[in-house]
């Protein structure tokens, strides 16, 4: 591609992006697409000869966009809604041009050091202690798997040489994200050694039940090694009592990992800083800027006060990757499974600098306020009931009818194209779940979605 051809096609692409960002609601948030539809619409094998960029861009608009669920859309109210704002998109474009690979300091010095700087800024904004080591992974699932591997390294230092020994047990609440169990599966802990601790009436891990499970396992000759506390659980955004869990972890020498993937960014609001109380005692913590911190997917920020142990678990340097350097240089490949690492820090740094802490805090505050308004509206409608407290920007509620009636309400609203909500099951009951996290989502969107749900409900 000649520089001129690049300039022309890139300008056309940026024009499309700017148009999209100015009117995302021209598009339905959920595509009307059947499984296999795109596969059938595309040629069965790749072209022998190259095609002009115009044709590629036309097909992007004609075939790909209508088949996308639009996460970057103000009507996206499902799962944990998120945002790819202008500065984040521009950073992704610039990163692609540099094609940096921050496996070693030498292979991308500025990417490595920007990762250190951006993560340290975020750490300060969240009020976490100085001296934490930060590293970016793709997702919280990867971050938590690395936490569990570091925990195993602490408890069972022979594991990297001999393979994991049996009897290591891990603890999380029954409301913890599936990535915790998956991380334990991936490193050979075994699902049968993951204890799902019961939660209280507000979906928070019960420390008394945790302590009892740990003691019972020790009495049975097992080796408790790790506990995961969640700040902002996936279904209801409940917060486990981190200080009480930290007491138990310290008493029995367990690695404490805090999963604040969704809710962590709320700690940049002074009035919400308390949500990370106790996290200063954690061995590791994950927060996902690609969830509620307006940073494009993918970017998960992992912090640990034990980088020595993480490094012991993962460092393996063959001759062809050996570099001479001074003590300040960090080789991020030593702290995890991936060797090749995308230059993700640039988008976080662009987002933090473009908006600044105050504006980011204001957007999070606005989302929380919209969720509180919705929670009050649900409480005021006798046909509906809330199924969990709403401490952040997610509201869980249901029509006071059957699970099937609730499924139908959700299906009807999602079919409208304006909004996309998802569901969960709480205490055995199907629950509607409205999650606010897109920068473009206003209180008006939320109230319109609520009205659509009310209209869809049997009267």
Which residue's CB is nearer to ligand PLP, number 394 or number 409? 394
How far apart, in whole angstroms, are the C-alpha atoms of residue 294 and residue 403? 34
Shortest CB 379 distance to ligand PLP, Å: 25
Tokens at 366, concatenated? 């606005």
N-terminal to C-terminal alpha carbon distance within the chain: 61
Main-chain phi, psi angles of 165, to 5 degrees: -85, 160
288 burial via Cβ count (<10 Å: 0-12, 13-18, 19+): buried
Instruction: Enumerate the H helices of 48-85 as residue ranges.
Output: 53-59
Q: Which residues contact 189 (CB under 8 A, 6 or more apart)?
A: 148, 152, 164, 168, 169, 170
Beta strands 300-304; 133-137: pairing state: antiparallel
Name which of 300 and 406 has its Cβ closer to ligand PLP: 300
Structure tokens at 430: 């199907």
- Nearest approach in angstroms of CB 354 to ligand PLP is 23
Q: Which secondary structure element, helix H or strand E, spans residue 119, and what is its range? A: helix 109-125
- Residue 282 CA to residue 272 CA, distance in Å, equals 18
Binding-site ranges for ligand PLP (CB under 6 A): 80, 139-141, 177, 179, 230, 232-234, 259, 261-262, 288, 300
Between 141 and 431, name the residue whose CB sits nearer to ligand PLP. Answer: 141
**From the CB of 87, what's the least distance to ligand PLP, in Å?**
21
For the CB of residue 346, give the shortest distance to ligand PLP in the complex, in Å: 19
DSSP codes, 310-321: HHHHH----GGG
Which one, 260 or 453, has the nearer CB to ligand PLP?
A: 260
Closest distance to ligand PLP from the beta carbon of 207 (Å):
19
Kindly tell me which of 169 and 179 has the beta carbon lying closer to ligand PLP.
179
- Phi, psi values for residue 109, rounded to 5°: -55, -45
For residue 179, give the 3-state DSSP assignment. helix
CB atoms within 10 A of CB 336: 23
Q: Which is nearer to ligand PLP, 139 or 284 (CB)?
A: 139
Rounded to a whole number of angstroms, the minimum distance from the CB of residue 127 to ligand PLP is 20
Residues with Cβ < 8 Å from 107, sequence gap 6 or more? 100, 101
Specify the residue, 213 or 301, whose C-beta has the smaller distance to ligand PLP: 301
Antiparallel, parallel or unpaired: β 255-259 and 223-230: parallel
Question: Angle at the Cα of 147 (from 142 to 151), degrees rounded to 5?
Answer: 145
CB of 389 to ligand PLP, least distance (A): 16
Q: Which is nearer to ligand PLP, 28 or 88 (CB)?
A: 88
The minimum distance between CB 412 and ligand PLP, in angstroms, equals 25
Distance CA 304, CA 336 (A): 13
Q: Which is nearer to ligand PLP, 140 or 409 (CB)?
A: 140
State the nearest-atom distance from the C-beta of 278 to ligand PLP, in Å: 17
């Amino acid at each position: 591609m000649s520089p001129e051809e690049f300039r022309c096609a890139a300008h056309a692409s940026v024009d499309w992006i700017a148009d999209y960002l100015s009117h995302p609601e021209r598009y339905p948030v959920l595509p009307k697409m059947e499984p296999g539809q795109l596969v059938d619409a595309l040629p069965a094998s790749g072209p022998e000869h190259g095609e002009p960029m115009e044709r590629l861009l036309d097909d992007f608009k004609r075939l790909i966009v209508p088949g996308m669920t639009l996460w970057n859309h103000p009507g996206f109210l499902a799962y944990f809604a998120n945002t790819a704002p202008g500065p984040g998109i521009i950073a992704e474009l610039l990163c692609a041009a540099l094609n940096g690979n921050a496996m070693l300091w030498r292979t991308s010095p500025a990417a490595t050091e920007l990762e250190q700087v951006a993560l340290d800024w975020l750490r300060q904004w969240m009020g976490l202690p100085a001296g934490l080591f930060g590293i970016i992974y793709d997702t919280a699932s990867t971050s938590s798997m690395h936490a569990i591997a570091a925990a195993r390294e602490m408890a069972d230092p022979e594991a990297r040489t001999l393979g994991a020994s049996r009897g290591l047990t891990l603890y999380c609440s029954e409301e913890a994200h599936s990535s915790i169990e998956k991380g334990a599966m991936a490193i050979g802990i075994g699902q049968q050694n993951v204890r799902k601790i019961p939660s209280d009436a507000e979906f928070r891990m019960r420390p008394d039940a945790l302590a009892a499970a740990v003691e019972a396992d020790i009495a049975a000759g097992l080796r408790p090694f790790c506990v995961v506390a969640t700040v902002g659980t996936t279904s209801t955004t409940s917060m486990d009592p981190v200080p009480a869990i930290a007491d138990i972890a310290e008493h029995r020498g367990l690695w404490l990992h805090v999963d604040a993937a969704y809710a962590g960014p709320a700690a940049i609001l002074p009035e919400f800083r308390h949500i990370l109380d106790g996290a200063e005692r954690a061995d590791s913590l994950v927060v996902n800027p690609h969830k509620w911190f307006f940073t494009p997917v993918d970017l998960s920020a992992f912090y640990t006060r034990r980088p020595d142990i993480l490094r012991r678990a993962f460092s393996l340097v063959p001759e062809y990757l050996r570099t001479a350097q001074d003590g300040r240089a960090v080789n991020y490949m030593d702290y995890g499974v991936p060797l090749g690492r995308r230059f993700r820090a640039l988008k976080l740094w662009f987002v933090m600098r473009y908006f600044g802490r105050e504006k980011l805090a204001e957007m999070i505050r606005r989302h929380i306020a919209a969720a509180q308004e919705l929670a009050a509206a649900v409480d005021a409608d006798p046909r509906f009931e809330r199924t969990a407290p709403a401490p952040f920007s997610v509201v869980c509620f249901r029509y006071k009818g059957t699970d099937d009636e609730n499924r139908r309400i959700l299906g009807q609203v999602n079919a409208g194209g304006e909004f996309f909500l998802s569901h969960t099951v709480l205490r055995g009951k199907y629950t509607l779940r409205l999650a606010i996290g897109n920068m473009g989502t206003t209180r008006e969107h939320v109230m319109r979605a609520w009205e659509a749900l009310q209209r869809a409900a049997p009267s």
